[in-house]
Amino acid sequence: MVRVLGKRMLLTSSGHVLLVIVLLLAQPTTAIFVLEGSPTSYAQFRKWHAGLNGSLEFEFKTEDANGLLMYTDDGGTFDFFEVKLVEGALRLRFNLGGGASILTVGHNLHDNAWHKVSIVREFEETRLVVDKELQSRVSRGNEFYFGNFTTNSYVYMGGMPGWYSSKLTQLALPSVIFEPRFRGAIRNVVYANDEGPAKRQEMIEYKGVRFQKLDVCEHQDPCQHGGICISTDNGAICNCRAIDFEGTFCEKDSYLISLKE
């Protein structure tokens, strides 16, 4: 059964709000989720606003050497990003209209330890970073936007919804539907889903997913001024790169610090 997250407002006969939120299913509030790797499992997130300088990152751990980690595309035309494990290495295959490119980084990534993946766009250049190991590729052509945000697909983690099997024309990379599903844990899914800064994303639909206990970021986010809380095995750390603050908890105004120097 597919789990869909939503809410509804109920009114009394006098028109006053009786209940503000009624959840069809309690919204997952954990930053760590585990995909079972069954033939139907997947997790769906909001669209990635990739722009010309966007980034998308997440962490995973698994004991399986092969599996689809992430996929998103332009709704079935040309552009796509596919991230998967192939014999323990992480492979990014992508197309921005000038032909498909492949970047492969790492080895033995199915060691049941956490590994961080970052996809970074900078106009015609796309960089793949896995645990600080980097590869990059320059795309051909003269137009480097990722599809059209209105018609782009959602971001899928671990697998694809089953309904795509009968609608392959809606996939820019139809072979993705046949990729082995990812079996393992994912956390800290961070990207921009609008024109604002990157932020931790919440799952909006899923199947074959279970949720672990609340992590430190969900229990007590220490980051100030819009800093991004990142869960680690040693506690929370704050990412302040998208705001004008710095310090352990993004508590220091960068401008005021520069005046003192």
- Measured in degrees and rounded to the nearest 5, phi and psi for residue 33 equal -135, 155
Scanning the structure block, which residue is given the tokens 């209105």? 150
Q: Within 13 A of 55's CA, how many CA atoms are on the CB side?
A: 15
The predicted-structure confidence for 37-58, as pLDDT tens digits, reads as follows 999 999 999 999 998 999 999 9
Q: What percent of the chain has pLDDT over 90?
A: 65
Q: pLDDT-based confidence at 80, cuts 50/70/90?
A: very high
pLDDT at 3: 64
Q: pLDDT-based confidence at 226, cuts 50/70/90?
A: confident
CA distance 226 to 149: 24
- Residue 28 CA, chain-centre distance (Å), reads 15
pLDDT mean across residues, the chain: 87
CA distance 147 to 151: 8
Classify burial at 235, counting beta carbons within 10 Å of its beta carbon; exposed 0-12, middle 13-18, buried 19 or more. exposed
Query: Whole-model pTM?
Result: 0.78
Q: What percent of the chain has pLDDT over 70?
A: 84
The predicted-structure confidence for 243-257, as pLDDT tens digits, reads as follows 889 999 899 998 777
Set out the domains of the chain in order of their start, with CATH numbers: 32-210 (2.60.120.200), 216-259 (2.10.25.10)
DSSP 8-state class, residue 179: S
The predicted-structure confidence for 151-194, as pLDDT tens digits, reads as follows 999 999 999 999 999 999 999 999 999 999 999 999 999 999 98
Residues 6+ apart with CB under 8 A from 26: none
Q: Is the pLDDT of residue 26 over 90?
A: no
Q: Is the pLDDT of residue 62 over 80?
A: yes
- Which pair of structure tokens corresponds to residue 189? 């899914």
Residue range 73-100: mean pLDDT, rounded: 96
